[in-house]
């Protein structure tokens, strides 16, 4: 999978969805919050994957590279399968680091990032 010029390494799972953005506002003295549909989000895809690195430096560089994709700029997202490419923005990167299991030569980073369709 490619996002702009960046290739996402070792994508294990992808989930595509469409939906509405909902704004939720807490209302004092009520059991339920006020919810309002704001806009159609269009297509979104969440990618989950993992990668193993030989050094901590490479692991942290990878995390910084993924975070740098979340800059509000729309780029071409190519799933590199039979589906067409589409314009998207990157959002919500998450990283799961089990640093207790890190040892020299084995630094695993599990990540997820969501791409939201853009015009």
Read off the tokens for 104.
């020299």
For every residue of 46-64, DSSP letters joined together read EEEEEEEESSHHHHHHHHH
Question: Residue range 106-110: average pLDDT?
Answer: 91
* pTM for this entry: 0.73
33-63 pLDDT, tens per residue? 776 654 456 788 888 998 899 999 999 999 9
Place of tokens 């469409």: 18
14-30 pLDDT, tens per residue? 667 666 556 677 777 77
Query: Average per-residue pLDDT in the chain?
Result: 83
Tell me the domain boundaries of the chain: 2-17+43-117
Read off the tokens for 96.
């799961």
Q: How far is CA 83 from the centre of its chain?
A: 19
pLDDT band per the 50, 70, 90 thresholds, residue 64: very high
pLDDT of residue 93: 92
């Amino acid at each position: 999978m490619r996002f702009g010029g960046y290739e996402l390494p070792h994508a294990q799972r992808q989930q595509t969805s469409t939906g509405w953005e909902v704004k939720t506002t807490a209302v004092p003295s009520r059991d339920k919050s006020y919810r309002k549909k704001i806009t159609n989000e269009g297509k979104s895809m969440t990618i989950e994957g993992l990668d193993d690195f030989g050094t901590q430096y490479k692991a942290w560089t990878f995390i910084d590279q993924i975070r740098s994709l979340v800059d509000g700029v729309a780029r071409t997202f190519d799933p590199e399968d039979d589906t067409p490419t589409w314009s998207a923005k990157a959002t919500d990167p998450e990283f799961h680091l089990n640093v207790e299991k890190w040892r020299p030569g084995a630094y695993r980073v599990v990540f997820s990032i969501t791409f939201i369709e853009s015009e």
